[in-house]
Structure 1
Amino acid sequence: MRVQHERTLSTSAFPGDTGDPDPRTRRLLAAFSAGPSTDGYLRVVAALCGDRVLVPVVATATRLDRGTGGLFSDKEAEMSVVGVQAPDGRRALLAFTGMDSLEAWDATARPVPVTLDKAAEATLADGAAALLVDLAGPDPLAIEGEVLAQLAAGNRLVELDDGFGWAVTTTDPTPAAE
């Protein structure tokens, strides 16, 4: 018997991705962690703009069922992105530079590879104030404020010869007047 189905899987935006972190980005994170500076922070964010990050997704039980012997099991579950909350009430979503850092945080979480701008957009859409990168290490980083807002708008931070700037996305397909 052959089963017919209508589901198709989309192709990966990151074909061949092994889950390994970009070594340059990890070096920049370590350097910033060892000696925080504005340029070091911006350099890490600019590097992350060219990488994919892994957003963790975990199963959350939505309905429990009492099985034999009185034990409960998941009857239904939803996949959810993960957020954390600081003691002062601020919330953040998580992203990881590689499978090693994601697994150090939670080995059961499923990785969803996305670009940094998509992770930032999801962070703000969820009402969170920050995106925490590599929360469990080796070198965590918080992206928040105006930098997070620019990323969520689809802009990319780039390092220039004389500093940093934003590569701004446009939606106007009209060519500039000559």
Structure 2
Amino acid sequence: MPPGSHLPGRHGDAHGDSAGTPWAGRTLTDSPFAGDDGAVAPAVASLLDAARAEDTPVDVAALVAALPGARLFVPVTAVSAGTDEATGGDLGADMAIPTLRSPDGRDALPVFTSVATLTAWSATARPVPVEARRAAVSAVQEGQQLLVLDPGVTGPGGSVVVPRPALWALAQGEAWTPSPRDPEVAAAVARLGDGLDGVVEVTAEPGAGAAAGRELRVVVHLAAGAGERADAARGAVAQRLGQHELLAQRVDSVELVARELPRALLVVRPREGGVLRRWSVHPVGTTPGRPPRTTTSHRSEAAARAAAAQWCAEDGGHEPAPGGTGCRWCGAGLAG
């Protein structure tokens, strides 16, 4: 080879990169993280510091809201590429991003708020800075359903599990509302018991959390004395829950429980049919220790409510409804 000649595309070549592509006409942009000191992004740091100061878990919703635009670190590790079958020589190493496995078997992407937390987790992993949304997009594309922020860090302000709906929202650049606070989720859950025998209502409440695999608790409230109908009702609600598109999109994990009411409900309502308008008292369920009651008919709403109040007194007396002013069992107004 003549003096001064070179191989195109080799390292150190002034005319092309390592793949042989000419440098001419190419524009190189500055790294968005140039000068990054590896510390926690300010918006994220304030939330973690507040959790530590108050000795409480990190507010996941507030954290997810602070992540868009924030810089995180993804760990990259060297993985052996194996050996050449023909020569037996070492093929070197490939670079890979580790994947975590959640207790329920789902894959999760580990991400870190700082170089310090990453190196404490793995001294051999290389910290690669990345915008949080880009990390979320990568996780979704790889089929990972969770983000785990600062795995291995314990205590308040420590490791945080970002659930699947929040991960999807972050990847799409959308706001995320936790399912226990989502009014559309609550409305959808309330309709799960429509028309089911023995089901008084179905409600949603916060579960133990995404880290425990129970983000939302769906409660099936059964009529008192539901007996053998309880299992069938719970199974029917579970089937509807599993087939509901909106709930599948917005709820990461569910705990389904059934609770039988301790007393019968006494529903006062207009009675259908007939020339004269009448009112009925319709018992839902049977109060333990009391004989079963049947629906009664009354000439006025006042008479029906008086009858319901009398039955309620016999069953144990009035009790205030949660969040309301009337009686939990018969709907009567309560003084005071």
What's the TM-score once normalised by structure 2's chain length?
Answer: 0.40
Kept in 1, the 8 Å contact 2:44–2:67? The answer is yes
Q: Secondary structure at the match of 2:148?
A: strand
Q: Which runs of 5+ in 2 are unaligned?
A: 7-11, 18-22, 177-336
User: Alpha-carbon deviation of 1:150?
Assistant: 0.9
In structure 2, the residue matched to 1:170 is none
In structure 2, the residue matched to 1:82 is 98
The reply on whether 1:54 has 2:41 as its aligned counterpart is no
In structure 2, the residue matched to 1:4 is 13
User: Alpha-carbon deviation of 1:117?
Assistant: 0.8
Kept in 2, the 8 Å contact 1:61–1:78? The answer is yes
Say which structure, 1 or 2, has more relative contact order (CA 8 Å, 6+ apart).
1
Q: Secondary structure at the match of 2:82?
A: strand
Taking the aligned partners of 1:54 and 1:74, their CA distance within structure 2 comes to 30
In structure 2, the residue matched to 1:137 is 153
In structure 2, the residue matched to 1:68 is none
The reply on whether 1:35 has 2:56 as its aligned counterpart is yes
1:151/1:61 CA distance change after superposition, 3 Å: same
Taking the aligned partners of 2:41 and 2:128, their CA distance within structure 1 comes to 16
Of 9, 15, 22, the match for 2:41: 22
Taking the aligned partners of 2:89 and 2:99, their CA distance within structure 1 comes to 24
Q: Which structure has the larger Rg over C-alpha atoms?
A: 2
Question: Is the strand fraction higher in 1 or 2?
Answer: 1
Taking the aligned partners of 1:64 and 1:91, their CA distance within structure 2 comes to 28
Q: Which runs of 5+ in 1 are unaligned?
A: 66-71, 158-178
Between Structure 1 and Structure 2, how many residues are aligned?
Answer: 150
User: Alpha-carbon deviation of 1:18?
Assistant: 1.3
Taking the aligned partners of 2:125 and 2:46, their CA distance within structure 1 comes to 25
Of 127, 132, 136, the match for 1:111: 127
Deviations 1:32-77 (A, max 9, x none): 473247xx22212222224200011111111147xxxxxx995321
Kept in 2, the 8 Å contact 1:63–1:75? The answer is yes
Runs of 4+ in 1 over 3 A off after TM superposition: 30-34, 154-157
Taking the aligned partners of 2:37 and 2:79, their CA distance within structure 1 comes to 26
Q: Which moved more, 1:136-145 or 1:50-59?
A: 136-145
Q: Secondary structure at the match of 1:135?
A: coil
User: Alpha-carbon deviation of 1:96?
Assistant: 0.4
Deviations 1:82-119 (A, max 9, x none): 11113431110111000000001001111111111111
Taking the aligned partners of 1:135 and 1:87, their CA distance within structure 2 comes to 14
In structure 1, the residue matched to 2:173 is 154
Kept in 2, the 8 Å contact 1:118–1:152? The answer is yes
In structure 2, the residue matched to 1:96 is 112
% identical aligned pairs: 36
Taking the aligned partners of 2:82 and 2:29, their CA distance within structure 1 comes to 29
Kept in 2, the 8 Å contact 1:46–1:156? The answer is yes
Kept in 2, the 8 Å contact 1:29–1:141? The answer is no
Kept in 2, the 8 Å contact 1:131–1:143? The answer is yes
In structure 2, the residue matched to 1:121 is 137
Q: Secondary structure at the match of 2:74?
A: strand
